[in-house]
Amino acid sequence: MFLEQFPNETRQNGWIEVVCGSMFSGKTEELIRRLRRAQFANQPLLLFKPVIDDRYHEEDVVSHQGTSLKAIPVRHSDEILTTWAKEKVVAIDEAQFFDEGIVDVANTLAKKGVRVILAGLDMDYKGVPFGPMPQLLCIAEYVTKVHAICVSCGNLAQFSHRTANETEQVLVGATEKYKPLCRACYNKIAH
């Protein structure tokens, strides 16, 4: 289990945390868990999501398990900085859908003493690093990679296999379009 150990939390030092993994690995659940702890500690926070992610709700961030928190949908990463009003914690779900500017946004907030938590897919359905995620992983002080369970064999899964016929990189969906697979099972049906 991941142990959160943040030295000097009481000082005004900011940092970046990234939770990554495949579809159905619990990224959003983990993001919400961390935010609920911050809420319990009365830390002011903001939660953002990309407008494109309207699977379960237009405004709330909702996990596949149904856990939810109120969020601010944004079209562009710059909107995060213009909305921020000195909250101590800023969280961003589905970070892979944001433009490359999300890296500068995360760095800017961390430099201002903010705890920045991002969650997102590290790879797309082809097994290729997704959007700004590689850069976010590089600049983060803390990285948590979570895994789903392979629906074919039961091993740990890190691939999001697309079952729909669409070929564009961004295709928002859930169990009707994706299933988690381990490397061996994914390679058997590789694209």
| pLDDT reading at 48 higher than 60 | yes
Decide if 142 is inside a domain.
Answer: yes
Structure-block tokens of residue 185: 């099972």
Q: What whole-number distance in Å separates Cα of residue 165 and Cα of residue 186?
A: 16
> Residue 58: which CATH number?
3.40.50.300
Residue 52 inside a domain? The answer is: yes
- Average pLDDT for residues 67-93, to the nearest whole number? 93
Output the pLDDT for position 159: 96
Using CA atoms, how far residue 26 sits from 12, 16, 100, 109, 140, in Å, is 29, 19, 24, 25, 19
Q: What is the Cα Rg of the chain in Å?
A: 16
Is residue 2 assigned to a domain?
A: no
What integer pLDDT is reported at residue 53 of this predicted model? 72
What is the reported pLDDT for 162? 87
102 or 9: which carries more pLDDT confidence?
102
The pLDDT value recorded for residue 66 is 62
In a domain, 134, yes or no: yes
Q: What is the distance of C-alpha 65 from the center of its chain?
A: 15
Residue 64 lies in a domain: yes
Residues taking part in catalysis: 94
The total domain count for the chain is 1
If phi over 0 gives left and psi between -120 and 50 gives alpha, with beta otherwise, what is residue 94? Answer: left
Q: How far apart are CA 69 and CA 73, in angstroms?
A: 12
Instruction: Work out the angle at residue 29's Cα, subtended by the Cα atoms of residues 125 and 190, and round it to the nearest 5 degrees.
Output: 15
Q: What is the pLDDT of residues 30-42, one digit of tens each?
A: 999 999 999 999 9
Tokens of 127: 């097994």
Q: Exposed, middle or buried: residue 51 (CB in 10 Å: 0-12, 13-18, 19+)?
A: middle
Q: Is the pLDDT of residue 9 over 60?
A: no
Select the more confidently predicted residue: 174 or 150: 150
Range of the domain at 74: 15-147
Considering 119-123, 161-165, 166-170, the range whose residues carry the highest mean pLDDT is 119-123
Domain assignment present for 77: yes
Q: Decide: helix, strand or coil at residue 142.
A: strand
